[in-house]
Amino acid sequence: MASLKVNNFPPLPKFIPLKPCFYQNFVDEIPIDHQTLVKKIYQLWICKSPWSSSSWVGKGNKSVTAKYKVEWIVKHK
């Protein structure tokens, strides 16, 4: 019998009335050799999203945003 996979991504707080859209199992779906790289890319994407949206609104300073992106990459190497 196949195990039932419950949708678990994106993780949402309990007070939000929405449920996760799809199932994600990082260990099973990403080869071990690439897990570190994929995690760093994902974290960069998550970090980049708020900065990108702030620059779309016109409130973001692009040089400052770029500085923080580079700083984050260097710290998480």
Position 25 in a domain: no
Contact 9, 19 (CB under 8 A): no
Taking residues 4-27, what's their average pLDDT?
86
Count CB atoms within 10 A of the CB of residue 5. Answer: 10
Average pLDDT over residues 1-29: 83
Instruction: Give the domain extent around 58.
Output: 31-75
Question: How distant is the alpha carbon of residue 62 from its chain centre?
Answer: 21
Q: What's the pLDDT tens digit per position in 21-57?
A: 888 888 888 999 999 998 888 888 877 766 555 554 4
As for how many domains the chain has, the answer is 1
What pLDDT score was predicted for residue 1?
Answer: 46
Q: Give the span between the Cα atoms of 51 and 65, in whole angstroms.
A: 6
Q: Say if 16 falls within a structural domain.
A: no
pTM over 0.75, yes/no: no
8 Å CB contact between 10 and 20: yes
Determine the pLDDT at residue 54.
Answer: 53
